[in-house]
Amino acid sequence: MFAAALQKARAAFAPPLWRSQGGGWEGVRFARMRSTTAQNSRQKHPSPTLPCAARKGGGDISARQAARPLCLLMAVGAMMPARSCNPVVVAMSLFDSPLRFGAALVLGAALSACSSTPTHTSSTGKDTGTPVTGYLVGAAIPDSLALSPAPPAPDSVAAQLDEAVARQALSMRDSARFVQAHADADLSFPAGADQFSCALGVAVSAKTTPVLYRLLERSRIDASAATKAAKNHYQRPRPFMVNNAPTCTPDDEEGLRKSGSYPSGHTSIGWAWALILSEIDPDHATALIERGRNYGHSRLVCNVHWYSDVQQGQFMGAATVARLHDTPGFVADLAKARAELSHARTLNLPMPRDCAGETAALTSDIPEAR
């Protein structure tokens, strides 16, 4: 009875040409032929949106948005006739053979990562599904275009200093300082939370210091956002685009070419963290501020920023912290993080980094940049 009902439902919803071809492997073979033809056509006439998305009406939507509900549909397209975006047609045709149905289940599981919505991991290690946002919103974010002078003009004294510092930075390639610059480039979490752990004397993690971890993650977003207006406006070429020398992060170079050099976003974040952490722990303020400066200098050693980029990045980081202090949520988290850090010191947990090696590497600095 179920089989008969299923056959009737398939016949009612399936496209006429599919019914005329019959089911079984002959239908699969025909579907593969159609899929190959459609693929060749799309290669000759590429579209910025996914095929089914264009039929929904209401204007184009992004490929990422369309991919979430359609990932499975496109994945099994080579195994079934892809004439329709109707989910009923898709569902019914999956039952045509046990092999196709099983393959669809496997593909569905493999493609569960199609959705790329950023999520936050809680202190318990469970995915909360909540995107991390900054503390500052809209006009509260410092306007780097209004606060930043134009980058140094070619052949100006400031431009000559930029070039001199860049030459000194290039001499550190393949040194321990160059390796440290590579490590400093990682601002992703959880790695980013530990960038200042050695100077702080305490490991920062979502498990042992969840409030501080979250504070650093959210303020990172704010300090980065504070540099965007000037970056987008000036689109200053980065040093490696001018001197054609390698960087400490070759995998990032393609993206960096599309992002303006002035001011430095990494430096803005590092300087903001140095100021915030030194306020939370005044006893380590000198080490933390020194680490903040060296963190910005790592962008020079990496050959991805000019000296004036770093200087203005520090300015924007300071401007960000000033605005954060006018935000009740940040002020509350700052007080909680201070108490949390005091408790974390009593745990005497091992450091996740080679602090002795980091200190030794950071002793090599750029004379012109001090």
Q: Quote the CA–CA distance of 14 and 12 in Å, as a whole number.
A: 6
- Cis status, amide bond into 46, omega within 30 of 0: no
Active-site residue flag, 283: no
**Residue 305 falls in the annotated catalytic set:** yes
Burial of 208 (0-12, 13-18, 19+ CB in 10 A): middle
| Partners of residue 127 on adjacent β-strands | 121
Residue 309: active-site member: yes
Residues recorded for the chain:
370
DSSP, collapsed to helix, strand or coil, labels residue 31 as helix
Long-range contacts of 116-124 (CB under 8 A, 24+ apart): 116/64, 120/217, 121/190, 121/206, 122/206, 122/210, 123/206, 123/207, 123/210, 123/213, 124/207
- Residue 234 near residue 123 (C-beta atoms within 8 A): no
Name the DSSP class of 23: S
* Residue 299 appears among annotated catalytic residues: yes
235 torsion bin: left (phi>0), alpha (psi -120 to 50), beta (else)? left
H helical segments located in 76-227 = 87-94, 98-110, 144-147, 157-170, 176-184, 197-200, 210-225
The whole-angstrom separation of Cα 265 and Cα 223 is 7
CA-CA distance, 168 to 301, in Å (whole number)?
Answer: 8
- Of 96, 194, 281, 309, which residue is the catalytic one? 309
Helix (H) / strand (E) containing 8 = helix 2-13
Q: Tell me how crowded residue 330 is: count the other CB atoms within 10 A of its CB.
A: 20
Query: DSSP states of 211-276 as a string?
Result: HHHHHHHHHHHHHHHTTHHHHHHH-PPPHHHHH----S-GGGHHHHHTS--SS-HHHHHHHHHHHH
Rounded to an integer, what distance in angstroms lies between the CA atom of residue 315 and that of residue 98? 64
The catalytic residue among 266, 284, 291, 293 is: 266
Strand-pairing partners, residue 121, are 127
- Give the catalytic positions in this structure: 266, 299, 305, 309
